[in-house]
Amino acid sequence: MHVSGNRIMGRDGRTLRLLGVNRDGTEYACGQGWGIFDGPSDQASIAAMVSWDINAVRVPLNEDCWLGINGVKPKLGGGSYRAAIVGYVRRLERRGLTVIVDLHVSAAGDELTATQMARLVDADHGVAFWRSLASTLGNDRAVIFDLQNEPHDVDWNCWRDGCHTDDGYRAAGMQRLVDAVRSTGSRQPIMLGGLAYAGDLSQWLSHLPHDPARQLIASFHTYNDFPCDDACRTTIAHIARSHPVVTGELGEHDCAHGYIDSYMAWADRHGVSYLGWTWNSGDGWTCQAGPTLIRDYNGTPTGYGVGLRNHLHALAR
């Protein structure tokens, strides 16, 4: 799998548009000290996802848990966490799924275990994280690297080049993170989320880091409470003429699917990929609060999830 111009090319040499779901939990369970996954991660749970006709899953990660630093419990972090994540990636791949691994949660310095989304990945650990992850999965060409979940409250120069943030830490910037991945010899496609929690790609092209492998993908997030209007869609369509665009998170908080229906139809016409947020069930998960796509891990959809499921079924026919 690789980027060629504005397309992602699959293992069969054909254009691959990523249509899937996010599997939440691996970014917070370890940091909260009670597990690695939130819910099942076995083949049966993967089969339920596949039954929706998905071809991709996005897996959020925790910087401290992967590196085993800043108070992470040894049985949940470091080698234990890395082995669990790699095992899950392999199980997903055995079902023919593309896997996006996403640095979702990070924290600078010796701050107690990361549990929040930073403005921008810290220079203290972020470079080490991406060198380690790229070294671990560098030979796996069914994986895409998403450098940071949702950058926010920095400017575009900081986004690319790094800076000292108002929070008092040094942010690495996307160029250093791209360099960290490529320093391992990895040639995987790399996703770069824009500003405003990945909802703003207005200066993405003008601030694009240099990638010697030419494998960069624009990452975009949208929900009905922060909708992508006509101007937003014009920006995305412009980027999509030269680079692949993946909507890493697509969601709706009203237990309906009118917004995602409209967005998916538009994205289909413009070759834009999308993954629904999120495939989780249980205490605290609702179609408003997640928003969650499912009522149970058998894949029974919520009122919101039925929109994504039915749309993917229709595309697969």
Quick: pLDDT tens for 89-132.
Answer: 999 999 999 999 999 999 899 877 777 889 999 999 999 999 99
The domain tally of the chain equals 1
pTM (two decimals)? 0.97
| Beta-strand relationship, 245-251 and 2-4 | unpaired
Residue 84 predicted with pLDDT over 80:
yes
Provide the 8-state DSSP code for 317: -
pLDDT tens digit sequence for 163-193:
999 888 999 999 999 999 999 999 999 999 9
- Joined tokens for residue 185: 């010899």
Q: What is the CATH number of the domain that holds 99?
A: 3.20.20.80
* Closest of 262, 271, 260 to residue 305, by C-alpha: 260
- Joined tokens for residue 24: 């939440």
Considering just the CA atoms, what is the radius of gyration of the chain in Å? 18
Range of the domain at 146: 2-316
